[in-house]
Amino acid sequence: MSDRKVTIHDVRQAKEEGRKLTMLTAYDYPFGQLMDLAEIDIVLVGDSLGMVVMGLEGTVEVTMENMIHHTRAVVRGCKRPLVVADMPFMSYNTSIREAIMNAGRLMKEGGADVVKLEGGVDFAETVEAVVKAGIPVQGHIGLTPQTASALGGFKTQGRDAESARRVIEDAKALEAAGAFSIILEAVPAAVGKLTAEAVKIPVIGIGAGPDVDGQVLVTHDLLGLFDKFVPKFVKSYTQIRPIILEALTAYREEVKAGKFPGPEHSFAISQEALALLKKSLRS
């Protein structure tokens, strides 16, 4: 892809031309910039925000205000990648009108290029209405974290023929509804492959094996920055927590020992001005 802003057409074209798509999460300005520098195609302001940034147990408590706030920060740093904002739980589940209004807020107030929402066949009508309102939608099927409790927990989906068939039907329903791509989470690799083959729109996998059209990970998992749990499908490319901890500890030790700040981190005043100041303090 070129240096200009990535569009949903580029994303579709990547699949047509057999080019793998890269997608990662970001929640703030510095990481938005880093995604740009790393030439990641798609940046997701995911509601994983709730867990990896806000310290919540899951994604259910994440609000529209949280998503708008963080999307704005990412968008400021992230010029080239397509920015996807997650629609939080209950921002699209109650009515189609509310789904359109909230998707619109993520674009108008958050500055997102597109929105993502969880669900397949059951949400096809909602996806169609949001797309018709002029807002591109990325679907999310397989393991859907917002409704994990209804799925019996954070479990791999599509492990038997019937549930694998449902995953593929969900993908087809989203394609028919006008979604421009799909996130497919935690399904056997063979089901990932069959799903990607079943639709023309790109299927971006997270724990869906290698034979899909692209990959997405939660950046804090990739960096070893989130300590609570690491799903099997995550590859940690570095362990950044110990590096950060080492720097924070060194800072604490230097301040306590009077070693920081040194002269190179301090401002000077002329001897003349200092002498005048001292004299004025004495009088």
Which residue, 105 or 220, has its beta carbon nearer to ligand KIV?
220
CA nearest to 237, candidates 254, 249, 253, 220 = 220
Which residue, 103 or 206, has its beta carbon nearer to ligand KIV?
206
Asked if 17 is an active-site residue, the reply is: no
Our finding on whether 223 is near ligand KIV (CB under 6 A) is no
Own/partner pairs, 189-197, CB within 8 angstroms, 24+ separation? 191/158, 191/164, 191/167, 194/164, 194/168, 195/167, 195/168, 195/171
Q: Name the residue number minimizing CB distance to ligand KIV.
A: 46
In this chain, which of 22, 48, 91, 156 binds ligand KIV, going by CB under 6 A? 48
Torsion sign (Cα): 184, 188, 191, 197: positive
Our finding on whether 206 is near ligand KIV (CB under 6 A) is yes
Our finding on whether 216 is near ligand KIV (CB under 6 A) is yes
How is 41-73 classified by DSSP, letter by letter? Answer: SEEEE-TTHHHHTT--SSSTT--HHHHHHHHHH
**Please, what is the Cα angle at 236 between 232 and 240, to 5 degrees?**
140
**What is the C-alpha R_g of the chain?**
23
According to CB under 6 A, which residues from 99 to 158 bind ligand KIV?
Answer: 140
**Given the rule CB under 6 A, which of 41-49, 168-176, 235-243, 256-264 is the region that contacts ligand KIV?**
41-49
For residues 50 to 89, the per-residue mask of contacts with ligand KIV, x marking binding by CB under 6 A and - elsewhere, is ------------------------------------x---
Our finding on whether 47 is near ligand KIV (CB under 6 A) is yes
List residues near ligand KIV by CB under 6 A. 25, 44, 46-48, 86, 140, 183, 185, 206, 216, 218
